[in-house]
Amino acid sequence: MPPRSPQRPEGEPALERYDVIVAGLGGMGSAAACELSRRGRRVLGLEMYAPAHDRGSSHGRSRIIRQAYYEDPAYVPLLLRAYELWEELERACGKSLLTITGGLMVGRRESGLVSGSVRSAEEYGLPYELLDAEEIRERFPAFAPTPETVALYEERAGFLDPEESVRAHLDLAAARGAELRFEEPVLRWKASGGGVRVETGRGAYEAGRLVICPGPWAPQLLGDLGLPLRVERQVMYWFEPQESLGRFPVFIWEPAGGDVFYGIPDGAYGGVKAAFHRVAGAICTPETLDREVREEEEVERIRGCLSRHIPALAGRCAHAAACMYTNTPDFHFILSPHPEHPNVSVAAGFSGHGYKFCSVVGEILADLATEGETSHPIDLFSPARFLKEV
């Protein structure tokens, strides 16, 4: 027997009903809508901006993907499945979304970045090489490591195109029957044992299940959970090299006594996208995010970092853009059924390293919405770790 419709105010007409409503159609929400529609569910997707917009966190032309995951070995099974699903998406849409370049995790041998990457690779039998400073310079001549620097090299690392990936998921979802509504922000939602009701600026909708993928709007849409989420401003930069870089992989670099930074080869602006990772950014909301990037303060800071470690890359900054990290205190995700409403699933707090998981997160969210559980290992991401016991 289908679930009863949630109670509505007396005299209000019955609303059109869906199997699942997906709130937010960025990286995670577009993947969830795509997978749910593939499973034959009647899906309504709601998004406050245009498709594949640049107002949240699923933009910037490239996002690193890698398998030897320094953050925690528990991510590796999800990554292995994510690669499979990204390749399936490429075949389904006929577009290239995943570019394999190889990847370097650079730092001292005892650094969290290098040691954590080695630990994940060893635990799951992932192929890798550990290069010393001389081997780094020989293989990747643009890099200028200090003598004590080493790097884990992972051949399967590379990058994804976030905007094109979102479009691909949305196009497939629509082709499979999903109803996608843009420029229609979710204002509030309510769940009961009989289903869910979602209100937007244009109307109200009902469904048996709700999937919430709010990105940096998580503090507003998930305020009932009291999660300790912090939305921080981060800046991406695209630099034109001053000379040939030679062979150039994606990289993450943890210099001794310095801020972690990363780079991705990107032909759009003639060079490499580079940025600091998790530097202390200004706390913001999507509405208060400062999108102006300052040449003297911000561009010069990262150019100085590049001049020390990759001198050929410290040329003209061709472009810069602000984005947002929605961080949890431990930098692990929130990916779980809602603690109080089992017919609501939540995906939030991806903390600057979540985009590569969109494909598998979409599958997990579809599992939760259709089966109430998933076979994927997601215990690490339960919001219960932050919720105070009453």
What domains can you pick out in the chain, each with its CATH number?
Answer: 17-58+163-229+330-385 (3.50.50.60), 88-158+237-320 (3.30.9.10)
Residue 241 in contact with residue 330, Cβ under 8 Å? no
Q: What is the pLDDT of residue 387?
A: 83
* Cα separation values, 75 from 90, 310, 359, Å: 22, 30, 14
Residue 265 pLDDT > 50, yes or no? yes
82-87 average pLDDT score: 98
Buried b (16+ CB within 10 A) or exposed e, 148-174: ebbbbbbebbbbbbbbebbbbbbbbbb
Residue 390 pLDDT > 70, yes or no? no
178's tokens:
């999903």
Q: What is the pLDDT of residue 10?
A: 55
User: What phi and psi values does residue 34 have, to the nearest 5 degrees?
Assistant: -65, -45
With bands split at pLDDT 50, 70 and 90, how would you rate the model's confidence at 5? very low
With bands split at pLDDT 50, 70 and 90, how would you rate the model's confidence at 134? very high
What are the tens digits of pLDDT across the range 266-305?
866 668 999 999 887 899 999 999 999 999 899 999 999 9
Residue 13 pLDDT > 80, yes or no? no
Residue 6 in contact with residue 190, Cβ under 8 Å? yes
With bands split at pLDDT 50, 70 and 90, how would you rate the model's confidence at 193? confident
Q: Which residues contact 9 (CB under 8 A, 6 or more apart)?
A: none
Instruction: Give the residue from 190, 154, 173 showing the smallest Cα distance to 92.
Output: 173
Query: Per this entry, what is the length of the chain?
Result: 390
Q: What is the pLDDT of residue 208?
A: 98
With bands split at pLDDT 50, 70 and 90, how would you rate the model's confidence at 167? very high
Instruction: Give the residue from 222, 215, 228 showing the smallest Cα distance to 326.
Output: 215
| Arithmetic mean of pLDDT over the chain | 94
d(CA 39, CA 230): 34
Give rounded-to-5 percent helix, strand, coil for the chain: 30, 30, 40
Residue 318 in contact with residue 240, Cβ under 8 Å? yes
Residue 4 pLDDT > 60, yes or no? no
Instruction: Give the residue from 316, 360, 312, 314 showing the smallest Cα distance to 335.
Output: 360
Buried b (16+ CB within 10 A) or exposed e, 33-48: bbbbbbeebbbbbbbb
pTM metric for this prediction: 0.94
Least confident of 11-15, 17-21, 257-261, 327-331: 11-15
DSSP secondary structure letters along 335-381: EEE-SS-TTEEEEE--TTS-GGGHHHHHHHHHHHHHHS--SS--GGG
Residue the block writes with tokens 């001198």: 311
Residue 191 pLDDT > 60, yes or no? yes
Strands (E), the chain: 17-23, 43-46, 63-65, 98-100, 103-108, 129-131, 149-154, 158-160, 179-181, 186-192, 195-200, 204-212, 230-239, 250-254, 261-266, 271-276, 317-327, 334-337, 344-348
Task: Please return the burial class of 302, using the count of CB atoms within 10 Å of its CB with bins 0-12, 13-18 and 19+.
Answer: buried
Residue 295 in contact with residue 352, Cβ under 8 Å? no
pLDDT-above-70 percentage for the chain: 95
d(CA 181, CA 165): 18
* DSSP 8-state class, residue 295: I
228's tokens:
């300790």
| CB-facing half-sphere around the CA of 352: CA atoms within 13 A | 29
47's tokens:
């998004």
Q: What is the pLDDT of residue 29?
A: 98
Instruction: Give the residue from 231, 235, 232, 233 showing the smallest Cα distance to 300.
Output: 235
pLDDT-above-90 percentage for the chain: 90
